[in-house]
Amino acid sequence: MLVSLHLAAMWGTEDYWARGLMLAHFGLFILWQPFMRSEHRLTSAQVAAIAAIALGTLYFLNWWLLALWVSVLAGIVGGKVFLFQARWLRRFYLVVLLYLVSLLLIWIVPNTFRVPLPNEVELLAQYGLPVLFLVMVAIPAETDSAETPQVVDFFYAAMIVLLLIALALGSFAFMTVGKIDYIMALSFSMLIIAGVLLLLSFAWNPRAGFSGLSVYFSRYLLSIGLPFERWLYFLAELSQLETKPERFMKEACVGLARLPWVSGGFWHTAGESGDFGKVSKNSVEFTNQEIHLRVFTKLALSPSLVWHFQLLGQLLGEFYVAKQREQKLQQQTYVQAVHETGARMTHDVKNLLQSLNVLCAAAERDTASDADGELSSLMRRQLPAITLRLQQTLDKLQKPDASNGRFIKADTWWEGLQRSYAGRGVEFSREGQGDSVMLPKELFDSAGDNLLQNALRKRRLDESVAVRATFRCNDTIEFSVCDSGAPVAAEVLRGLMRGPVPSETGFGIGLYQTSRLAEISGFSLQLRDNESGRVCFSLRGEVRRGARGQ
């Protein structure tokens, strides 16, 4: 292709053989051109355009058209140079670009302006430039993935064409105004254009403290063909409306189809997949660890729009991962709620089992002489209470929130607690009168059982430990359980009532559940005293007047 162009340029545009060589050159260019693949079927309009160009080459070829064509061809080659990663292939196209620019400036432009050239320049053009053909042949053949499909960067190509036109016209201006020869005028034009490019390079990424032209160019790229801010707003709004990751992905891809350059696509994740819109021959893909997205476009995308799409796909992937984390957090919260409810029920059942063990132990110690005495009285007191608490536990299992709003009179609760722990060595003390004050039944039942059971368990390890339960109902409600045993260890105290903590007698789950119930009901459970011989847990809250008489 280049050899036929060189021979046609050397013979001149007026020669008929030169026009025939240009026709052959154009045919070879169609075989080489990077815009359409070889398997592409030409349309009737494309065939008509090729025929028109061929006829125009035969009948209207002149130096101006030849100069314009060589400039465009140099732009196409220059637009391909910066896209190749293969070293030898990039060097090959750099040599081709050097030949085209040299042919244009030292032969075609002077003949276009009808400028006489020195003999040395003519010899260089006729016999020196073909040496570059030998260099091209000597370069090793190498393939590059960027050639399939081949892409020409329009920005680079347009920049090279404009620079060549400015160089040619600038040389003509210097020749006309300054009355100097072509070689000197070409040198002046090259120096001025080089200076302008140097200034632009400093303005592109300056070091003086201001942002430079690169920032404005980036803003321009962010607005080419893609309403970026509108898409980001759409994703943020969809993220608030849709909670399920897969449905979010589906709706986001449907919204992606609204972009003007998108015709359709498909996506798939680890769990699901889907498609949207129509399939086209142009596509671009985005893949990360969570999603794979392929979008079909109406036209082939430029490098800037490909970069746009990669950024868009990364945003979509980050939103999808955030939705997955949100769903996992909801599942963990649900599991935690189930665990806490089960733990609370377990403690209720454990306390009931301990009450039954007390009855069984009393029955084993009883003799026939007092069968109708103390044992019968204990059974009459405890069995109805155990039955009632078993029914309440069953209600909690069936309806976990059914007992949250139940209240009981303060006197009734206090008397029931005394009956439940009668004969077990607990000293009960009451201060103030609160017959009309209503207490949260679940909270005070849980606090009474857990605090007293913990204190009694400590006494089983040391029989000298005294246990005292105090209930105060004046302006404030306070229920406290104190024992004369050893204090709570420092390592246990740090996490006590904040979560499960390991100890000698359990994990502190009962205290944690009671503390959570106290917060919900407006009370507070705290370790009031923690010293050797005096360990006191206190449940404290204000008297709620609205709770009286319920």
Antiparallel, parallel or unpaired: β 534-542 and 476-483: antiparallel
Say if CB 239 and CB 322 are below 8 A apart.
yes
The CA-based dihedral angle spanning residues 167, 173, 174, 180, taken in that order and rounded to the nearest 10 degrees: 120
- List the structure tokens of 227: 């309403």
Higher pLDDT, 2 or 492: 2
What domains are there in the chain, each with its CATH number? 62-215 (no CATH), 224-325 (no CATH), 407-547 (3.30.565.10)
- Report DSSP letters for 472-508, one per residue: EESSEEEEEEEESSPPPPHHHHTTTTTS----SS--S
3-class DSSP string for 24-69: HHHHHHHHHCCCCCCCCCCCHHHHHHHHHHHHHHHHHCCHHHHHHH
The model's pLDDT over 489-544, given as tens digits with 9 standing for 90+, comes to 877 776 677 666 666 555 566 777 788 888 888 898 888 888 888 999 999 888 66
Contact 482, 425 (CB under 8 A): no
According to DSSP, the residues that pair with 135 across neighbouring strands are: none
Pairing outcome for strands 467-473 and 282-287: unpaired
Assign 88 a pLDDT band (cuts: 50, 70, 90): confident
pTM exceeds 0.85, yes or no? no
CB 264 within 8 Å of CB 276: yes
- On the question of pLDDT at 148 being above 50, the answer is no
Task: Single out the residue of 405, 387, 397 nearest to residue 442, CA to CA.
Answer: 405
Instruction: Find, among 433, 425, 479, 475, the residue nearest to 455 by Cα.
Output: 425
- The residue with greater pLDDT, 464 or 405, is 464
- Euclidean distance between CA atoms 64 and 538, whole angstroms: 101
Give the tens place of pLDDT for each residue, 369-403. Answer: 555 566 666 666 666 666 666 666 666 555 554 44
pLDDT at 121: 86
User: What is the DSSP annotation of 226-288?
Assistant: S-HHHHHHHHHHHHHH--SHHHHHHHHHHHHTTSTTEEEEEEEESS-EEEEE---SEEEEEE-
Q: How many CB atoms lie within 10 A of CB 57?
A: 20
Cis bond upstream, residue 227 (ω within 30): no
Strand 426-431 to strand 467-473: parallel, antiparallel, or no bridges (unpaired)?
parallel
Cα torsion at 22, 23, 29, 35 (round to 10°)? 120
Q: Are 295 and 261 in contact (CB under 8 A)?
A: no
Structure confidence at residue 147 as a pLDDT band (50, 70, 90) = very low
Residues 508/398, Cβ–Cβ less than 8 Å:
no
Tokens describing residue 269: 């994740």
CA separation for the pair 341, 396 (Å, rounded): 9
Using CA atoms, how far apart are residues 145 and 161, in angstroms rounded to an integer? 26
118 vs 301, more confident: 118
Question: What's residue 548's pLDDT?
Answer: 45
